[in-house]
Amino acid sequence: MASPTRGALIAIEGLDRAGKSTQCSLLLDRLRAENHPATLQKFPDRTTPIGQMINTYLQSSTALDDRAIHLLFSANRWEARDSLLETLASGTTILLDRYIYSGIVFSAAKQSHPSPSPPHGPLSTSWCRSPDVGLPRPDIVIFLDISQDAAAARGGYGQERYEKAEMQARVRALFEEMRADERDKEDWWVVDAGGDVEEVADAVWAGVQEGIRRAKQRPAVRAIE
């Protein structure tokens, strides 16, 4: 029997308050309504033991070395790798609510106090990317673009560690840098997320269709370089 066409791997990225989770759940409904097998995987996945450590960190102000927590976020993606690949091979499309790109920019955006011993200063994007090299590479990365002011107007940021305007401004700049990275520049699909939910959903849907089309042309899932 011929093996089924693999599912598409679709990452949804954006600033906090851009509407990622709303759009992911609308998309899941829409794909299923069209009889396209689909599932949602959120990162960080706070349900695993590693995810619970991340959750505790995000909800507290306790100090933890920036590199150590970064490696935990990456480990949280690695522990999902086999199941992601199996799900794709079975023909199911996966929507990722955040992925390595959030991983890189949120860690690189931190401006922690210099540690007493080298290396000092903020983490570089190349250092942040390295533990994720080899993870499954999305067929498309849909970026929900929203201005800082529009994000703040959506009720302000929450209480978690990174939800501060200053940090979000650095995150925004680093996402722009990331979208220009030659290694995966072709994967980005930018959507203006400032409009109403339905308008944004239609623009995101076009990106998903493109991701599914690209996945059909690539029998094998690529790896992050």
Residues that bind ligand DGP (CB under 6 A): 16, 43-44, 58, 70, 73, 98, 102-103, 106-107, 160, 162
Q: How far is the CB of 36 from ligand DGP (least distance, A)?
A: 24
Q: Which residue has the CB atom at the shortest distance from ligand DGP?
A: 103
Nearer to ligand DGP, 6 or 20 (CB): 20
Q: How far is the CB of 209 from ligand DGP (least distance, A)?
A: 24
Nearer to ligand DGP, 21 or 83 (CB): 21
Nearer to ligand DGP, 23 or 107 (CB): 107
Nearer to ligand DGP, 6 or 73 (CB): 73
Per DSSP, the three-state class of 215 is: helix
On the 0-12 / 13-18 / 19+ scale of CB atoms within 10 A, 8 is: buried
Report long-range pairs for 54-57 (Cβ below 8 Å, ≥24 apart). Answer: 57/161
Give the integer Cα–Cα distance in Å for 193 and 20: 9
Q: How far is the CB of 92 from ligand DGP (least distance, A)?
A: 22
Give the integer Cα–Cα distance in Å for 28 and 201: 11
The DSSP letter of residue 6 is P
Which residues in 78-198 belong to E strands, given as ranges?
93-97, 140-145, 188-192
The pair phi, psi for residue 129, each rounded to 5°, is -75, -30
Nearer to ligand DGP, 66 or 210 (CB): 66
Q: How far is the CB of 216 from ligand DGP (least distance, A)?
A: 29
Give the integer Cα–Cα distance in Å for 129 and 107: 10
Q: How far is the CB of 47 from ligand DGP (least distance, A)?
A: 12
